[in-house]
Structure 1
């Protein structure tokens, strides 16, 4: 009789042969642009800590003070006894930051997306998702039980054609900044299509909030849109804000609906109050230190220009995410490994995270990087890619 896991073993072998096997690296230092990993020091070019706040002393000290005041665990769900004064203050500050009536904390971005979509939609409704949306958005749409339709990437015309055929409540769902491509959703066009067809628009701005816009207001600030244009805004706290967790911001009726109906909010433990206190500190830095966003833009543009001069196929991105298209998964892994040997940590992104044949090196920048880091990375890429052809 075959071992119950024999099929899984064969599947793992197949994944490895395709160059798609994933493995973890152990980090032995705080997050930042310089990491100690597997006993060596490397320059980190694959973090989502865009503003360099994950180890900022003000944020760390706020976390310590929060632990001293509230302890480590939150003890329960928000609706039982886990909703602290720190959580409540952070929600109010995030609502003010995003220019919305209210905000609601979730323990993770994945849980926020699944919870929101399932709370707003059910059988008889319809959800429309960009083809390149994050897995959590796609899973949320599928789990909701609503009719699920994907539209061509960033194509408002294709979306509109599908919207006209739908019945029931209609929800359009998109990333703000697409995490593996770095490009922006055409939010102004999507908002027009939504209003024309009486649909709701939900934006996951995990990679835009804090990073995009003069004041860090993300993709909605970039397009000059408000709560009426984009009724549902989701943001994560573990990227630009440098901490952990997520939130949804919108109208009073939206937030009250989520408190009553979002199962991933109702039935899970609240994130630690100390994390909320750390995020309150990081939010102040996000608002006050615009030089971090300015520097990110300059570094990204410097890299982009240098990569194009080397003949590298950089993807169309105006964000801190600057992917280099490689194509073959194993070649992407080989280049990533060679970069690690040269002292640079750059992730190889492969299917199913990205479409077949579009494996890439996902280069991301932090406000803590300097121009010399960018130039050294470009020099290493020039040598390594020439040798991996």
Structure 2
């Protein structure tokens, strides 16, 4: 059921005048209503304005963009980084730039549409991808395969072990990974999966992501080698698009202590929920990640009846399967988590 609301809170919703606990969305650190985080953001809006009305290629350039990109590349561990206005735009910039005659784009199972350049879709399994890739390398050795995937695809295929990916001949592959659901949340100090994937030995690695899910600001980023990032910077796609809001990017630099504390709280909430969850086999979840998937529409209805709202809609379009997911955040209290776990127990017992 779709609910229309007039205001938003990170852990509660007001629906028809009644409070409901909210365990949905992708605001994993619960930052959008955090007063300290908002304070930093507002200070930066006063300094930089609400928008930057120019191209990144303009003859007048704000230094904050380079400052944030330097910070992000060191944090993630890549040679270089560029930022754009959204994670979707980041994925499209990479995919469309690589879609040239000398490359063959191949989509791993469950790849997000942000990386898609057409409607060909993704492979149904890694075994079929492996077979196609092996044949392609024999038949078209001069056409470098580009394998695109989501680091967290909510099926368990990729993060945390990337077991299926490891079976591919990665030394002959350009690897493009969307880490939108990982950056800011998983990895050492929340820096995502770049370092883990770097050790897999692909011919080249690019990681793109939204910064909204884990870092709470509307922006996207791309990480890779200096040569590749410079190529992306010199595209009309990058130069012609409006950049990310400078106040949002500046907030990343000023909120480092807040991010660390929120990640600590989030992990506590994940541990508490899993400790209280009585029927774990009914759900799919990944180590240290706050999204818990399920496929029981009855549970969604039962939770709603008990004033608990979870993610439940067809995604990414109306013809797609229903996405049913419990999402924990750093904003949830211990009481919230316990109430959710008890309600699930009531439904299955």
Say what the alpha-carbon RMSD is for the aligned residues.
Answer: 3.1
Q: TM-score, normalised by structure 2?
A: 0.85
Superposition deviation, residue 287 in structure 1: 4.8
Superposition deviation, residue 171 in structure 1: 0.7
Residue in structure 2 matched with residue 295 of structure 1 by the alignment:
268
Residue in structure 1 matched with residue 282 of structure 2 by the alignment:
313
Secondary structure of 2:68's counterpart equals helix
Secondary structure of 2:295's counterpart equals strand
Aligned partner of 1:78 among 45, 56, 65: 56
Superposition deviation, residue 216 in structure 1: 1.2
Q: Which runs of 5+ in 1 are unaligned?
A: 1-21, 327-331
Asked whether 1:205 is paired with 2:179, we answer yes
Residue in structure 2 matched with residue 15 of structure 1 by the alignment:
none
Asked whether 1:243 is paired with 2:217, we answer yes
Kindly indicate whether the alpha-carbon contact (under 8 Å) linking 2:37 and 2:258 is maintained by their aligned counterparts in 1: no
Are the structure 2 counterparts of residues 192 and 380 from structure 1 closer, same or farther at C-alpha, using a change threshold of 3 Å? closer
Instruction: Give 1:175-214 correspondences, 5 Å limit.
Output: 175-178=150-153, 180-181=154-155, 184-185=158-159, 186-187=161-162, 190=165, 193-196=168-171, 198-214=172-188
Residue in structure 2 matched with residue 256 of structure 1 by the alignment:
230
Q: Which runs of 5+ in 2 are unaligned?
A: none
Moved more, 120-129 or 231-240: 120-129
Instruction: Give 1:1-389 correspondences, 5 Å limit.
Output: 23=2, 25-29=4-8, 31-80=9-58, 83-123=61-101, 125-137=103-115, 139-140=116-117, 142=118, 150-153=122-125, 155=126, 157-166=127-136, 167=140, 168-178=143-153, 180-181=154-155, 184-185=158-159, 186-187=161-162, 190=165, 193-196=168-171, 198-221=172-195, 223=196, 225-226=198-199, 229=202, 231-261=205-235, 263=237, 265-287=238-260, 291-302=264-275, 305-308=277-280, 313-318=282-287, 319-326=289-296, 332=297, 335-336=299-300, 338-350=302-314, 359-383=322-346
Q: TM-score, normalised by structure 1?
A: 0.77
Superposition deviation, residue 273 in structure 1: 1.1
Deviations 1:83-126 (A, max 9, x none): 42222211111111101111111111111111111101224531
Kindly indicate whether the alpha-carbon contact (under 8 Å) linking 2:151 and 2:158 is maintained by their aligned counterparts in 1: yes
Are the structure 2 counterparts of residues 376 and 128 from structure 1 closer, same or farther at C-alpha, using a change threshold of 3 Å? same
